[in-house]
Structure 1
Amino acid sequence: MSEGSNDPLDEAAAQLAHLARALLSASEVGLRIHATRTARRTGTPAVAVPEPRRPRGEEDDRDRAVAPATSTSRSPRRTSAAHPARTSTPVTPPSGRRPAGAPHAPRPSTRGPASSRLLGVHRDALDFFREQERPAWATDMLRDRGLTAAWEPPWSAGYAPAGWTQLTQHLRSRGWDDEVLLAAGLSRRSRTGNLIDHFRDRIVLPLRRADGQVIGFVGRCAPGGDPRTPKYLNSPASGVYDKSATLFGLAEGRAALTSGAVPVLVEGPMDAIAVAAVTGEAFVGLAPCGTSLTRAHVDELGRVVDLASSTVVVATDHDAAGDAAAVKAFERIAGRCAGQLRAGLPEGLDPSDVLRREGPAGLREALTTRTRPLLDVAVDHRLMRWADQLQWVQGRVRAARHVAPLIAQLKESERGSAVTALAQRLDLMESTVSDAVAVAVPELSREVPPDASTSRRIQEGSTPTLRPPAATTAPPHTRGR
């Protein structure tokens, strides 16, 4: 039939054929889009989608459009084998994400020239802070809290002046360029684009890595200031500083810890100084800065202390937030140390508050004779949410399941007594609690490291530095009605 035919049936047939070709093309495009998206998500090369089979001699408009000007004919495309260029180009994921399965790019070295420059500029910054005249509020605050030792080594506190650019200008005069100041987190850009000091009008304490090198700072603001101002301000992350793996006080107390001092986990650097100030070398205060306790923090402590033969004391504030922090600490250290204790701080007070109100003797007593097992604190905290359901058996069973993961994190040799104590407290059969713990153990087995030093500790006949006191009597439980 000629193209000029005006037969309605022929025209309808031609329109249907054109529509069919369009649908095939749309289907092919959809498949290609799907393949490309899958490749971007998985990181694998895009797989070519075979083109629809066309009748012999029929030519696609797209083939004519891409054919070279000198060519008069072109065979239809068939498979990816005939056109490898369409299938071999890797897809780069958006936002700079690494394709799945691709090798990791090497991380910047923390020991190369960049690291040495960051360490150098931090040394100069500490010297600058130490040379500044201290305002009255700073000296009065530390004196009133009994923490004047913070100005002296090993703490070496200084003062960041209230001006906008004093440190920045000083470091520039020492030859440090803006790139280093920004990378170290000592300066930052204002809204106008100019560099300003990160720390202003604060008592500044250096943060050190294990070898004593300064890698950052934490600053304490003046009391009674703007409530929107953060009480503590930390250095931002840099090539040498990671707050999730840095414990304030670990480098300063390293010698005491290796000699048998008891690690005390606190919430702030002033608390860490307070612990060390009143206990000599018997206890060493350790504080995460700007974050809660992490497994990396515990790993860092474990490189200095044999945790398997040591008892760790947690001296967080005696309030709701402090109790939550204590539970988090238990989850991080349970199963890794010989004992875990909670310091007996008065309600609403932290170690530096206790030192100010009760003196050195009061703080020493809170760390020694007023302690209780940290597991009991964690169990109390978790049972609080079930208080209105403990009168029913089903509520007590659910409460036991909620507490079971805490017991599962203990060493296997310690779980039996904890199961018995919880069963008695909730008036449940021990088998019920034991089953709940057995379910929780596999979920935590990959997170809790094995006690690799148990046999060595037995062979050496060593004992924990500080033995936990006998467990306190559990509060009376409520029997079902």
Structure 2
Amino acid sequence: MKRIPQDFIVDLIARINIVDIVGHRIKIKKRGKDYWGNCPFHNEKTPSFSVSEKKQMYYCFGCGAGGSAIDFLMNYDRLSYPEAIEELANLQGITVPHVETSTETNRTQNQISGQNIRRDLYGLMDKLAQFYQVQLSTPEAETAREYLTRRGLDKTTIEHYKIGYSPDNWHLTLNYIAKTPQDKKLYDQAGMLVSNDNGNQYDRFRGRIMFPIRDRQGNIIAFGGRTIKANDSAKYINSPETTIFHKGYQLYGLYESQQINRNPEKLVVVEGYMDVVSLAQFGINYAVAALGTATTEDHIKLLFRATDNIIFCFDGDTAGRRAAWRALNVLLPTLIDGKQIKFVFLPEAEDPDSLVRKEGKTQFEQRLDNGITLSQFLFDELLVQVDLKTPEGKAKLSSLSLPLIAQIKAQSFALNLKQQLGDYLGFLDITQIDKLLQQYDSNESATPSVDDKIPPIKMKLTTMRILIGLLIQYPELAKLVPDINSLKQVKLAGIEIFIELLNICHERPNIITAQILAEYTGKPIAKQLNTLAIWEHRYAEDDISAIFSHTLKELYDNILAQRQDELIAKDRVTKLTEAEKKELATLILVLSKKD
């Protein structure tokens, strides 16, 4: 049988950020050094769920749930241990290795079988995409081909995006893919089957032009289907969310764009599949689209990782401007200095697909270059709501804009907006805006802080627990213990695990808390170490090294006292050697001075 190497798991944890993993699934907000939110594992009104970016750990002070990103995926997404590792590895674009092992329990065999589901789903979706591509060449797909021709798509573009056609038949695709009951089950898990009220199952996509949706690694994870029937009630339908597809976390066309240019100078965000493909047909191969959902924070993060210049392209009608405003509100808390954001609004009744075919590449790109900045769009939207000729209008502008500016962590962006707001309000000094923001911030934080509401974990503190707890939370403290050999003869509860932890930290100087805990997954000591990892010690950060050193000194004093007791006990039973007598005398002298 095979297993996932422990070294790979430890290294994988170093690649990810638990804040991104948790924040994609629940709402968390930074307060102090950690992120907080309502626990997803029990009902609560007051946030007691914390996520530590430094430790790469989460912990709920209400129900006690806690662990690493792997544990969170296992509990929240209900994945097995290997499946959670596979999910994190997929996000990083790396393959999970397996090694042979001679002893595997039935439980482990089941886990590995579960882990293979993702791999099998990727294989199934790739097979489906190939099937749809072949179907596009059949006589039945003539109408689909004519539609694509009318939209101006050539063979190269169709192949680049793997566009295909789903037969207009209730079971044809199912019968082709699902040769066995297991195949059918996998087909259903991929979201490709629909069940009616009678329990009958049939193909989700029928008689549609198919757009494969690929993740950043190029795996096909879902499909979008465009009808070619005039009487069809739904123009587009998408795959439902599955084990491998979360629509709020993917952008259509991003993989294809980065295949042409790994580091695109800019990306333009449009609304539909055909917008992306049509723009690419005209050489504008840097367009992406959200998958039937509004722009999310995860979409923004994907964009920021890919490029420094982002252009949001919307219809110029009321609905388009509303969509743009929603995108702006998602953008503000995630802004990063050095990124350039623009908004482009198209003429009425036009979309990128129709307009680029009318204007051509050069003129369309001029529109993109002439887009308005984020700050200009923000104030354009606010100014139509106020009358700056009156004090009341200026006060309203202040009340509308301050909550938006307060969300921005990027200093240059915030400074720019404060300067513009100051100009509109007639303030000569930007510090007046800062004072207003401070008032706003103080009103926002008038409620008790999360930390004040959370009771500390009750735990009897001993010398060893303090040392182990601090070492797990601050692995760099290991360098304060250069000589581990002197600890090996000590007979003290917990000394073995302390020595083991020191060795791990010495071997991996940059190891973090979650990686340390990953080394002990499945071991009896894991629960105790997890408790120490989330122990709220209440020590000032600047004092941690001194407290560790002082506690370590106490440990060495205990070692000396222990050795003194051993020699005294031996002396009562048998005579000490001359060397032992000298050692005892030295210990008595040293320890008496400490008293």
Alignment TM-score, normalising by the size of structure 1: 0.63
Letter matched to residue 401 of structure 2: V
Choose the corresponding residue for 1:130, options 133, 148, 151: 133
Residue identity in the other structure for 2:413: E
Alpha carbons of structure 1 residues 141 and 242: separation in structure 2 relative to 1, 3 Å: same
Query: 1:431: how far off?
Result: 5.7
Q: Are the equivalent residues in 2 in contact too, given 1:323–1:381 (CA < 8 A)?
A: no
Aligned residue in 1 for 2:223: 217
Matched with 2:281 is: 277
The secondary structure found in structure 2 opposite 1:315 is strand
Structure 1 unmatched ranges of 5 or more:
1-39, 43-98, 445-481
Q: Deviations over 1:89-119 (max 9, x none)?
A: xxxxxxxxxx833455544216321101211
Out of 37, 46, 64, which is 1:101 matched to? 64
Q: Structure 1: how far apart are the matches of 2:181 and 2:153?
A: 35
Q: Which residue of the partner structure matches residue 161 of structure 2?
A: 155
- Judge which range, 372-381 or 99-108, deviates more: 99-108
- Provide closer, same or farther for how the CA distance between residues 121 and 420 of structure 1 changes in structure 2, counting only shifts above 3 A: same
Which residue of structure 2 aligns with residue 332 of structure 1? 330
| Partner Cα separation in structure 1 for residue 283 and residue 393 of structure 2 | 44
SS at match of 1:286: strand
Secondary structure at the aligned position of 2:282 is classed as: helix
List aligned pairs for 1:448-467, cutoff 5 A: none
Q: CA deviation at 1:207?
A: 0.7
- Helix, strand or coil: the match of 2:159? coil
Partner of 2:451: none
Is the 1:161–1:202 contact (alpha carbons within 8 Å) kept by the matching residues of 2? Answer: yes
Q: Name the residue aligned to 1:143.
A: 149
Q: 2:91 corresponds to which residue?
A: none
How big is the shift at 1:438?
4.5
Map 1:36-435 → 2, pairs under 5 A: 100-103=63-66, 105-106=74-75, 107-108=78-79, 109=83, 111=86, 112-132=115-135, 133=138, 135-148=141-154, 152-173=158-179, 177-222=183-228, 224-226=230-232, 229-280=233-284, 284-303=286-305, 305=306, 307=307, 310-334=308-332, 335-336=335-336, 337-368=338-369, 370-384=370-384, 386-387=385-386, 390-408=388-406, 409=408, 411-425=410-424, 433-435=433-435
- Where does structure 2 lack aligned partners over 5 or more consecutive residues? 1-41, 45-61, 67-71, 87-114, 446-595
Kindly state the Cα deviation for residue 313 of structure 1 after the two structures are TM-superposed.
0.9
SS in 2 for 1:217: strand
Range with greater deviation from structure 2 (407-416 or 348-357): 407-416
Give the direction of change, closer, same or farther, for the CA distance of 1:410–1:440 in structure 2 (3 Å limit).
farther
Task: Quote the offset at 1:159 in angstroms.
Answer: 0.9
CA–CA separation in structure 1 for the residues paired with 2:360 and 2:177: 40
Rounded to whole Å, the distance in 1 between the matches of 2:439 and 2:349 is 36
Q: Is the 8 A contact 1:155 1:205 kept in 2?
A: yes
**Secondary structure, aligned partner of 2:293:** coil
Residues 318, 350 of structure 1: 8 Å contact kept = no
- Gap change, CA 1:432 and 1:224, over 3 Å in 2: farther
Aligned-partner Cα distance in 2 for 1:343–1:327? 12
Deviation for aligned residue 1:272: 1.7
CA contact (8 A) 2:303 2:310 kept: no
Deviations 1:205-224 (A, max 9, x none): 10111111111101112374
How many Å apart are 1:410 and its aligned residue?
A: 6.4
Which residue matches 2:96?
none
Aligned residues: 339
Deviation at 1:362, TM superposition (A): 3.1
Q: Cα deviation per residue 1:304-355 (whole Å; 9 max; x = unaligned)?
A: x2x5xx1111112222222222223333344225211113522342211212
- Larger helix share, 1 or 2: 2
* CA 1:220–1:414: 2 relative to 1, 3 Å: same
Q: What percentage of aligned pairs have identical amino acids?
A: 26
**Residues 352 and 405 from structure 1, CA distance in 2 versus in 1: closer, same or farther, beyond 3 angstroms?**
farther
Letter in structure 2 aligned against 1:131? V
TM-superposition CA deviations, 1:97-142 (whole Å, max 9, x none): xx83345554421632110121121112112211113634433333
Give the 3-state SS of the residue equivalent to 2:217 in structure 1.
coil
Give 1 or 2 for the bigger CA radius of gyration: 1
One-letter code of the match for 1:101?
G
Aligned counterparts of 1:402 and 1:332: Cα–Cα separation in 2: 16
Question: Whole-Å Cα distance in 1 between the matches of residues 401 and 275 of structure 2?
Answer: 30
Contact 2:311 2:343 in 1 (8 A): yes
Residue identity in the other structure for 2:390: W
CA positional deviation for 1:399: 2.3
User: How far apart are residue 179 of structure 1 and its match?
Assistant: 1.7
Q: For 2:412, give the aligned amino acid.
A: S
How far off is 1:174 after superposition?
A: 7.2
- Output the amino acid matched with 2:189: A
Please say if residues 154 and 281 of structure 2, whose CA atoms lie closer than 8 Å, have aligned partners that are also in contact.
Answer: no
Amino acid across the alignment from 1:299: K
Q: 3-state SS of the aligned residue for 1:173?
A: coil
Change (3 A) 1:249 1:154: same
Q: Matches of 1:423 and 1:243 in 2, distance apart?
A: 40
User: How many angstroms does 1:231 deviate by?
Assistant: 2.5
Instruction: Report Cα offsets for 1:23-73 as digits up to 9, x if no partner.
Output: xxxxxxxxxxxxxxxxx967xxxxxxxxxxxxxxxxxxxxxxxxxxxxxxx
Cα shift at 1:268: 1.3
Q: Distance in 1 between matches of 2:230 and 2:437?
A: 48
Residue 341 of structure 1 contacts residue 372 of structure 1 at CA under 8 Å; is this kept in 2? yes
What is the CA deviation profile of residues 182-229 of structure 1, one whole-angstrom value per residue up to 9, with x for unaligned ones?
A: 110011212221111111221111011111111110111237434xx2
Alpha carbons of structure 1 residues 137 and 434: separation in structure 2 relative to 1, 3 Å: farther
CA distance in 2, matches of 1:169, 1:350: 38
